[in-house]
């Protein structure tokens, strides 16, 4: 039995797929949520972190016990922290105060060393993304570490091809649309390719922040949806990945995240809220009888302080 099979890393993937019951389209379209919160760190990023590290180990780019560096909005860093802890790689993370404090704490608890880059009033911007990337590049050069470089790393695509196969099997091949928000674009690209191998007619919809809708031709801006919307067209994005791009505002995403918790019992982050908003819009276009799959990207436990502050604001007299 391999080390992988004997560790918590063997629990990555094979997550559940459940239908929305109360937040459901009035026209009878089914919207199914892939519950990636079931992964060990509560995020779909466990899949890509494991794929990037194992690919680098396999081809010799990452030797036993060698250090790893990454820039991250949070979830990738937590996932890499888990994988590197299990595999014995020291991990250096560049992140920011723009992202949930819970994620930064989680990385430290798992043993990662953090450099936190200041943000513009807690907002995600193109400048912040580029500052984080540059800081990670410098660390990797200075200490001779393996840089996973998630914005450019194609090793992660295989993990999402496998996720597409899970979705296909779980739906019994009955899927008309897939909706996913865009951070690095790897999950959307990998899952779209995997699903289209089975049926090229599946409608693929990308989701981006309305405040920074660069994929659909808008200007770069600032938003507060964790993990998506880098502020520029990311390297892994390709024209033709998606049949449509939906713009969802931070306010719409947060509101839907709260609805999912209160009406469905799904406690998820804002990127999941954005996914569901876009999935409901697609449901109206596809009409009765269609089946749409979208992703619960992570658990809302990663955002307790953020959501708590939001509740305090809305309940204030």
Average pLDDT, the chain: 95
Q: State in words which class domain 8-39+160-315 has.
A: alpha beta
pLDDT of residue 124: 86
Q: How far is CA 7 from CA 11, 82, 163, in A?
A: 8, 11, 20
pTM, 2 dp: 0.93
Would you kindly state where each structural domain of the chain is located, as residue ranges? 8-39+160-315, 45-147
Q: Which tens digits make up the pLDDT trace of 85-96? A: 999 999 999 999
Q: What pLDDT shows up at residue 268? A: 97
User: Which parts of 37-181 fold into alpha helices (H)?
Assistant: 45-58, 75-87, 101-109, 126-143, 157-170
Query: Which residues of the chain fall short of a pLDDT of 70?
Result: 1-5, 315-317
pLDDT score for 5: 56
Q: How far apart are CA 93 and CA 80, in angstroms?
A: 9
CA geometry: angle 281, 262, 98, nearest 5 deg = 75
What is the reported pLDDT for 1?
38
| Domains 8-39+160-315 and 45-147 in one fold | yes
- 192: helix, coil or strand? helix
Residue whose pair of structure tokens reads 């799959």 in the numeric block: 293
State the fold for domain 45-147: Rossmann fold (3.40.50)
CA distance readout (Å), 254 to 82, 88, 178, 263, 281: 27, 37, 21, 14, 16
């Amino acid at each position: 039995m391999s080390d992988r099979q004997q560790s918590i890393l063997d629990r990555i993937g094979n997550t559940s797929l459940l239908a929305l019951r109360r937040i459901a389209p009035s026209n009878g379209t089914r919207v199914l949520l892939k519950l990636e919160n079931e992964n060990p760190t509560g995020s779909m990023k466990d899949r890509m972190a494991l794929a990037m590290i194992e690919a680098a180990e396999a081809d010799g780019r990452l030797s036993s016990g060698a250090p790893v560096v990454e820039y991250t909005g949070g979830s990738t860093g937590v996932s890499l922290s888990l994988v590197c802890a299990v595999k014995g790689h020291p991990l250096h993370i560049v992140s920011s105060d723009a992202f949930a404090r819970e994620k930064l704490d989680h990385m430290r608890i798992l043993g990662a060393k953090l450099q936190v880059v200041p943000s513009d009033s807690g907002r995600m911007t193109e400048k912040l993304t580029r500052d984080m990337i540059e800081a990670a590049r410098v660390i990797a050069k200075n200490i001779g570490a393996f840089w996973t470089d998630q914005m450019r790393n194609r090793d992660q695509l295989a993990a999402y091809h496998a996720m597409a196969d899970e979705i296909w099997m779980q739906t019994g091949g009955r899927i008309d649309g897939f909706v996913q928000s865009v951070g690095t674009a790897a999950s959307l690209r990998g899952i779209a390719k995997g699903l289209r191998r089975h049926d090229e007619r599946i409608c693929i919809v990308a989701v981006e922040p309305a405040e920074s809708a660069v994929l659909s031709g808008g200007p770069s801006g600032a938003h507060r949806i964790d993990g998506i919307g880098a502020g520029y067209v990311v390297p892994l994005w390709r024209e033709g990945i998606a049949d449509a791009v939906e713009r969802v505002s931070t306010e719409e995403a947060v509101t839907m995240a709260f609805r999912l918790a209160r009406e469905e019992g799904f406690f998820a982050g804002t990127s999941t809220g954005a996914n569901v908003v876009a999935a409901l819009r697609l449901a109206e276009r596809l009409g009765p009888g269609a089946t749409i799959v979208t992703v619960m990207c992570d658990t809302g436990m990663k955002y307790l302080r953020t959501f708590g502050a939001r509740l305090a604001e809305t309940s204030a007299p």
